[in-house]
Amino acid sequence: MKTRLSSLFLVLAITASLRGAVPVAPVIVSLSPNGLLICTNLTPGTVASVAWASSLNGPWLTGLNGLNAITVATNGSIQVNVPVNKSGIVFYRVLGVPVFNPDAGMALIPDGSFTIGDSTGDGIIYAAPTNVYVSSFYMDTNLVCYGKWQTIFAYATNLGYVFDNAGNAKNNATNQPIQSINWYDAVKWCNARSQNAGLTPVYYTDPAFTRIYTNGDTDAVYPNWTANGYQLPTEAEWEKAARGGLSGQRFPWGMIITESQANYDGDTEDIAYDLGPDGYNTNFDSGALPYTNPVGYFPANGYGLNDMAGNLLQWCWDWLGMSYGQPTTNNPTGPSMASPMNPYRIARGGFWGFHANIARCASRSYSAPANEADNTGFRCIKNP
């Protein structure tokens, strides 16, 4: 007969369907002799509960005072006092929503301030250096590839989504980046990817966040920035991620560029920091256009992200604005609406047919949101 407290920690999780997402099981990390139980790996802001039993076969007791409807802290943990049975073994289990663990294909971009814009003095228009703060987020390490696009596209259309474009990829290869989709397509695809993963979509057609954006070309898109689903990066998020933790550099890796580092159109005669060779990247300039490269071909930047310079331009959330820091320098999201002179959405990163100057971290490109072309794709981010 045991006379001292002996504990077996059994953790169960009740979750919604998480197809495509990888939950990390909650873990009871400690149970003190006086009954203080700590459990981690729960989704912040959700509700958890603790059940206990004297046998694995139960009966499991629930609804005890203080052990039901426990709000998970912002660090994803709960701390509660549980009954202590010193005459035998007590089993505990925590029921709750496990924290989302991003796909293996996402990288954490840490929070912090950085200088967005042309800090190298290259004279980039509308890119005056500005100090901004960006919260942490996860970003796809690669551009969305044709294979992933097709999977979510099929899921979405079966769910009633309507896209303007089915998208293309070089030779329809699954590892080539998706292109020829417009901004509206990218935003709706983000929502579908969220739903497929059992996450809360970010984009809606009403300010109360009751109508998920699934069809049509509307500029009245309302983002729920606190949702845990997939979204396009803001321009500030994109540039912070592209720099890979470096500051004051033209490119994600340094001050010069060659075709061994990115897929772009070389021009050594006019651009001093381009070491070429001239013309399209010789590894990919065969067959029919576009001359894109498979995702993940080039070395990653300091955050583990590929193709943040060259290959394809990448849609961002923001409307084009003449200055940074709108409406605030704390997690800026760009102008609240388009202007008659600038009805464009931002796209970043350069592409296979642009010169090296457009592949710089600070270079800004833009296009009408209804435009689709073989030079533009996208990647997703999500809140941690």
pLDDT at 66: 76
> In degrees rounded to 5, what are phi and psi of residue 13?
-130, 135
Assigned token pair, 138: 């996860």
pTM given for the model: 0.78
Percent of the chain's residues with pLDDT above 90? 75
pLDDT at 59: 85
Average pLDDT over residues 205-220: 98
Q: Which amino acid, 44?
A: P
Split at pLDDT 50, 70, 90, the class of 88 is low
Which ranges constitute the DSSP H helices of the chain?
Answer: 146-158, 183-196, 235-243
Which residues is 382 bridged to in the sheet? 138, 230
Distance, in Å, from the CA atom of 58 to the CA atom of 107, rounded to the nearest integer, reads: 41
Average pLDDT over residues 288-296: 97
Cβ–Cβ under 8 Å, residues 274 and 354: no
pLDDT at 325: 95
Q: How many CA atoms lie within 13 A of 309 on its CB side?
A: 32
Share the mean pLDDT of the chain: 90
Residue 8 confidence (pLDDT) above 60: no
Distances (CA, A) of 123 to 126, 220, 274, 308, 363: 9, 34, 16, 21, 10
